[in-house]
Every structure is written in structure tokens, then in C-alpha cells.
Amino acid sequence: MSDVKTPMLDVRDLHAFYGKSHILQGVTFTVGEGEIVSLLGRNGVGRSTTAHAIMGTVDRHGSVLFRGEELINLVPHDIARKGLGIVVENRDIFPTLTVRQNLLLGVKNIRKAGRWSMEDMFELFPNLRERADVMAGVLSGGEQQMLTMCRTLMGDPDLIIIDEPTEGLAPKIVAQVASLLEEIARRGVSILLIEQKLTIALKISHRIYVMGHGHIVFEGVPDDLIHDESIRREWLEV
């Protein structure tokens, strides 16, 4: 197994709850500087809850360290200001605003240029350039997913959590999303990727965690998972 890079995100013994339901039961993992780390598992095991627990939008306890600073008692908007971004699964766009306006809403600091400009977004996804002045609500599902990811990047996060970015997308768009994720990492942004498609995770991830029933059941590099048939069969395959 390769050495873990300096942890940017260090999650330790994280528990999360929806009402009386105890969803996360002591989750521990790290994401290093510039790493793409995938969190895999079947639906309902707690992957999305992990993302929401990190961002402070569900009841939680344990430890979430970001660059050594404890986030567990912070509210979501303060966590975002620390440099974390999240792309949720439901493609949360502003449908009555244009593509360009949606992107501008992602900017957190208008006085400081970040790593990503609107021109960067249009170069990565020419479809968005073509539809820059179109209402976002009329975009296709794939275009809305692109827009959601790009709007989050406009806020210049140091770490981005992306939940099921390829769900329901055509293979051509999936390939574009994979290329974008690799470009994000090349620009020094760490990624926690929550994904069901094993192929994309194996292709672009530096390390992989597998979750089952609210806790981590596997940690390794992609080759480790490729060669561990028992883990794939028990926790991933339908």
C-alpha cells in the first residue's frame, strides 16, 4: 500500500444520526493533500451521510479535523469558509437563474482570484459556454451535474466532497466528469468521491475505502480492491 499523503481531512470515530437512527458507527478515514479518495459501498450504508456529517448538516459526534483544526462543533457555513466544498447528489441548481448567474453565486471572495475562473469552467465543459445565458432549469441532467460541480469549484475549495457525480449520466458525460476530477486534483484540490461505479473509482482514485453498515470495512489502493474478490462480492456487487 502506498504511503498516505499529509492528511488534509482526518475523520476519526465519526458517528451520525437521523433522529434515533444511528447511521454512522465510528467511521475513520483520511484524505491527503491533492488526493482523490473514493468512498464506495452499496446504497444505504452511510456514504452520503458521511458527507453530510463532515459538513455539519446532520447530528454527529466524533472528530473531523481539517488541516488539524477541529470542525465537529462548527455550523455548515463556517465549515465551508474553512475551504471545504460539497457537490450533493440531487444537482442543487438555481433553475430560474442562468448558467452564468449560477456560476457567479459560487464565488465566495470577489476580491481574491481563486484557482478557477468562469473561463476555466467553459473550457472544461463547452456545453456550459454554449448555454451560458440559458436558464439552468432547462439543462439536461448531465449539464446540471456539470454546473453543480463547476459552481462549487468557483468557491475555490481546498477539498471538495462529490456525491455520486456520474449517477444517471451518459457514458460520454461520465468520461468528462472523470477528466474534470483528475484536473481538480492536478490543481491541488483534494477530493472525497462518493461513487457507486467501481470502474471510475478504480481508474482515478489514489486510495479507496469501502463502507458497509455504517463503518469502514476496507481500505487500500485500487489494485488492492481489484485483487480482493471477497470484499467486492460481500460489500459492492449486487
In a domain, 1, yes or no: no
Residue 150: domain span: 7-235
Q: Do 158 and 7 form a contact (C-beta atoms < 8 A)?
A: no
Of 44, 45, 53, 58, the C-alpha closest to 14 is 53
Provide mean pLDDT across the span 106-133. Answer: 84
Provide mean pLDDT across the span 170-187. Answer: 86
The answer on pLDDT for 4 being more than 70 is no
In a domain, 131, yes or no: yes
Which residues, 6+ apart, have CB-to-CB distance to 224 below 8 Å? 1, 208, 218
The pLDDT value given to residue 137 = 94
10 Å CB burial of residue 68 (0-12, 13-18, 19+) is exposed
- Banded pLDDT at 174 (limits 50, 70, 90): confident
According to DSSP, the residues that pair with 36 across neighbouring strands are 191
In a domain, 2, yes or no: no
In a domain, 178, yes or no: yes
In a domain, 23, yes or no: yes
- Banded pLDDT at 230 (limits 50, 70, 90): very high
Q: Domain with 181 in it: what CATH number?
A: 3.40.50.300
Give this prediction's pTM. Answer: 0.90
- With residue 99 as reference, give the H or E element that holds it: helix 99-105
| HSE (side-chain half, CA atoms, 13 Å) at 100 | 7
Question: Number of folded domains in the chain?
Answer: 1
In a domain, 47, yes or no: yes
Provide mean pLDDT across the span 169-180. Answer: 84
The answer on pLDDT for 116 being more than 90 is no
Instruction: Report the alpha-carbon angle 218-163-109, nearest 5.
Output: 125
Provide mean pLDDT across the span 82-104. Answer: 90
In a domain, 111, yes or no: yes
In a domain, 92, yes or no: yes
